Amino acid sequence: VQLQASGGGLVQSGGSLRLSCAASGRTFSNYDMAWFRQAPGKEREFVAHKRWSGGTAYADSVKGRFTISRDNAKNTVSLQMNSLKPEDTAVYYCAADARRFPSGLRVDSRWYDYWGQGTQVTVSS
């Protein structure tokens, strides 16, 4: 599957952005989808996932502010980001994997086979 992320940009603290990830190549509905992010000098970290079954999980740092959703008819997964903070500044990556792993592994980037190219989100203070 090929993933194309979009929607990043520059926004002031407290603002909102919506990221989208378009998938092609395989049966999208079979895939667990996720967003990760990587800030300069830091490791890639989990943001949110939306499993093929509908299950959802968020990093504690984004709970209540970010919402992940998917549209299987359009082969897209989105991340609505509200109340953005400067510490949300990072390159955001969408990821996909069709293997059936426990939810606990779905917060670890090593368990995703497919990655998009990343989209930059910059939040100014």
Whether 26 has a pLDDT exceeding 90, the answer reads no
What share of the chain in percent tops pLDDT 70? 99
Phi, psi of 104 (to 5 degrees): -60, -30
- Which residue stretches of the chain are H helix? none
Each residue of 38-92: pLDDT tens digit?
A: 999 999 999 999 999 999 999 999 999 999 999 999 999 999 999 999 999 999 9
- What average pLDDT does range 104-118 have in this prediction? 95
Q: What whole-number distance in Å separates Cα of residue 119 and Cα of residue 101?
A: 26
Task: Judge contact between 34 and 56, C-beta under 8 A.
Answer: no
